[in-house]
């Protein structure tokens, strides 16, 4: 059993919560490696994730020159016992549902045989959008997993469906899937 979780962090306001997720996963004995999308780097710096995970952060650029030669997205996919995407924005859900592989995270998801867990977080209008719901249904039918979102306070100030799932629930689901 691979006890390694590849955490895809995307450009949503809830991306800072991935730091607590990493701490929680490490606390239960799982190693973590973070893949930051270019959009996530607009919210939070890679050094924070490197410090908390204890591993070098993989950045979103497919064409960054690697320090060691390997096909980075394939080696990421092979190392994973679980790929966990948090926050899963409407953008990343749509890209993966459509088979778009234009960054390290989407390519790693496409290449992995490990379970993939999406943790959606977005405005309730976006979450309830028929296209987003269709993409979620398509991914579930293809064997991908989801936890959340829940009803709660959103970044826009309103309350609605789209608030990120509780960390303990996410950790419990990650533990279940990695087995």
Rounded CA-CA distance 107/110 in Å is 5
Looking at the annotation, which residues are catalytic? 156
Per-residue pLDDT averaged across 35-55, rounded? 87
Per-domain boundaries in the chain: 4-178
Token pair of 169 as six digits: 């629930």
Q: Confirm or reject CATH 2.30.30.790 for domain 4-178, answering yes or no.
A: no
The predicted structure's pLDDT at residue 61: 62
Residue 157 has pLDDT above 80, yes or no: no
52-89 confidence digits (pLDDT tens): 888 888 876 655 555 554 445 467 787 889 999 999 99
Question: What is the reported pLDDT for 69?
Answer: 42
From 52, 36, 30, 51, select the one nearest 114 (Cα to Cα).
Answer: 30
């Amino acid at each position: 059993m691979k006890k390694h979780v590849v955490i895809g962090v995307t450009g949503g306001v809830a991306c800072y919560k991935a730091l607590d997720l990493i701490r929680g996963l490490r606390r239960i004995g799982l190693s973590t490696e973070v893949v930051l999308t270019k959009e996530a780097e607009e919210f939070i710096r890679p050094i924070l994730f490197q410090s908390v995970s204890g591993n070098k952060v993989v950045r979103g650029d497919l064409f960054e020159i690697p320090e060691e030669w390997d096909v980075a997205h394939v080696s990421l996919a092979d190392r994973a016992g679980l790929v966990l995407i948090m926050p899963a924005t409407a953008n990343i859900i749509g890209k993966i549902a459509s088979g778009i592989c234009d960054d390290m995270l989407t390519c790693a998801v496409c290449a992995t045989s490990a379970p993939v867990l999406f943790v959606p977080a977005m405005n309730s209008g976006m979450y309830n959008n028929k296209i987003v719901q269709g993409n979620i249904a398509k991914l579930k039918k293809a064997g991908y997993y989801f936890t959340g979102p829940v009803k709660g306070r959103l970044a826009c100030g309103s309350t609605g469906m789209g608030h990120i799932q509780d960390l303990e629930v996410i950790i419990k689901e990650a533990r279940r899937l990695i087995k």
